């Protein structure tokens, strides 16, 4: 079918990050298709779907179905309009025709995408509706419920035990809510659970936020965790000195009583709503997501904020200044700056820098994108 050494380093970083229009063509669809060999051997008419939160994620949910009308529509499909979303669809469709396997992306609405050409694929309305039903059912199994902290707190009362599953690595461990009135303060249950949590973070404790599913009583809740033991409380003999935190929609930190932007973006990733969430953010909230992506080396967060494939090489970055948001309802472009504390790659020096952001949107109804970020 179809200046100083440090200044020079930062200038080099800037040159690497300045954006151009359009979406880079380096992404290979195969990265989202670990089962293509099996699909190639499948009998004609069998269609396979695979859902992953990102192309690099190890955790995935799969389903196969047979629908001759959809198979026929796939074989007769034609090229459609350009696909302009910043991220590859989280669902892959694999089918067999003309003695070979074929793979396409498929959106939650059932729209097909040929990522090699970055165009949609036109199907009949009946075939698209059938695909939409299959994809939405599979995504509901893969991702978590988006519950507010108030509702999640009732589902996970204090001293309840549950499974925590990392949506990128697929690793899981058992935890217990020990305390927490504004989010859940959690302990791994055993030494083995602590070791798994540590392995999720590459073998060392970390404050980095990760999208997770909290599973209890047949329910799976979208959440975000960090992996740093801190504070009091403990379960004897579990090799974890303190607790770690799990946030849900709208939960806040204990100290500032404010919503943590990095946790909230991970909650939405765990719910399968990353693009929808980011597309509705104000320019300043979008910058917070970009800073989180830079700090954690999260290429997907950088891409969803800029519309481009990027690599930004820093060891750490956090916001220092708090910008006052202003009315941008009638603006198509915006320039603003943010003070950050950051450590460049290959150094240990924490320095204060200012990042000058230029943001644009195509119309007053469209979402904002970060078009350049100059680290001064």
- Give pLDDT tens digits for 319-372: 987 777 899 999 999 999 999 999 987 778 889 999 999 999 999 999 999 999
What are the pLDDT digits (tens) for 61-120? Answer: 999 999 999 999 999 999 999 999 999 999 999 999 888 889 999 999 999 999 889 999
Kindly tell me if the per-residue pLDDT of 9 is higher than 70: no
Kindly tell me if the per-residue pLDDT of 19 is higher than 70: no
How many other C-beta atoms lie within 10 A of the C-beta of residue 58? 12
Share of the chain above pLDDT 70, in %: 88
CB-CB contact of 79 with 121 (8 Å): yes
- Record the pTM: 0.87
CB-CB contact of 45 with 68 (8 Å): yes
What are the pLDDT digits (tens) for 128-148? Answer: 999 999 999 999 999 999 999
CA distance 149 to 109: 28
Share of the chain above pLDDT 90, in %: 75
Amino acid 80: pLDDT: 94
CB-CB contact of 113 with 162 (8 Å): no
Kindly tell me the burial class for residue 333, based on how many C-beta atoms sit within 10 Å of its own C-beta (0-12, 13-18, 19 or more): exposed
Domains within the chain, CATH numbers bracketed: 30-142 (3.30.1490), 149-270 (2.30.110), 273-375 (3.10.450)
CA distance 128 to 122: 9
What are the pLDDT digits (tens) for 146-165? Answer: 999 999 999 999 999 999 99
CA distance 261 to 209: 10
CA distance 102 to 358: 39
Among all chains, which residue has been given the structure tokens 């097909």? 112
């Amino acid at each position: 079918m179809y200046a100083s050494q440090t200044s020079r380093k930062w200038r080099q970083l800037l040159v690497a990050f300045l954006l151009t229009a359009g979406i880079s063509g380096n992404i290979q669809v195969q990265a989202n298709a670990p089962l293509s060999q099996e699909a190639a051997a499948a009998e004609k008419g069998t269609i396979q779907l695979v859902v992953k939160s990102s192309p690099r994620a190890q955790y995935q949910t799969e389903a196969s179905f047979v629908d001759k009308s959809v198979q026929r529509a796939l074989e007769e499909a034609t090229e459609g309009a350009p696909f302009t979303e910043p991220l590859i669809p989280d669902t892959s469709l694999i089918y067999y025709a003309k003695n070979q396997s074929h793979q396409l992306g498929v959106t939650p609405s059932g729209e097909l995408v040929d990522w090699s050409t970055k165009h949609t694929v036109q199907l009949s309305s009946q075939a698209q509706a059938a695909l939409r039903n299959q994809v939405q059912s599979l995504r509901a199994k893969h991702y978590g419920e988006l519950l507010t902290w108030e509702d999640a707190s009732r589902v996970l009362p204090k001293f309840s035990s549950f499974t925590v599953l990392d949506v990128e690595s697929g690793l899981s461990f058992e935890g217990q809510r020990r305390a927490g009135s504004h989010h859940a303060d959690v302990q791994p249950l055993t030494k083995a659970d602590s070791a798994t949590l540590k392995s999720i973070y590459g073998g060392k404790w970390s404050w980095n936020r990760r999208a997770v599913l909290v599973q209890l009583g047949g329910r799976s809740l979208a959440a975000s965790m960090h992996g740093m033991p801190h504070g009091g409380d403990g379960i004897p003999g579990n090799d974890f000195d303190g607790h770690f935190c799990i946030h849900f929609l709208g939960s806040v930190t204990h100290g500032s009583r404010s919503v943590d932007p990095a946790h909230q973006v991970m909650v939405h990733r765990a719910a399968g709503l990353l693009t929808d969430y980011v597309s509705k953010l104000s320019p300043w909230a979008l910058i917070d997501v970009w800073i989180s992506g830079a700090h954690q080396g999260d290429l997907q967060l950088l891409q969803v904020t800029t519309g481009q494939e990027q690599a930004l090489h820093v060891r750490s970055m956090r916001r220092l200044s708090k910008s006052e948001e202003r009315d941008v309802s009638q603006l198509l472009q915006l320039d603003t700056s943010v003070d950050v504390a950051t450590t460049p790659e290959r150094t240990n020096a924490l320095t204060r820098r200012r990042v000058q952001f230029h943001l644009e949107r195509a119309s007053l109804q469209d979402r904002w994108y970060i078009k350049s970020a100059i680290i001064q």
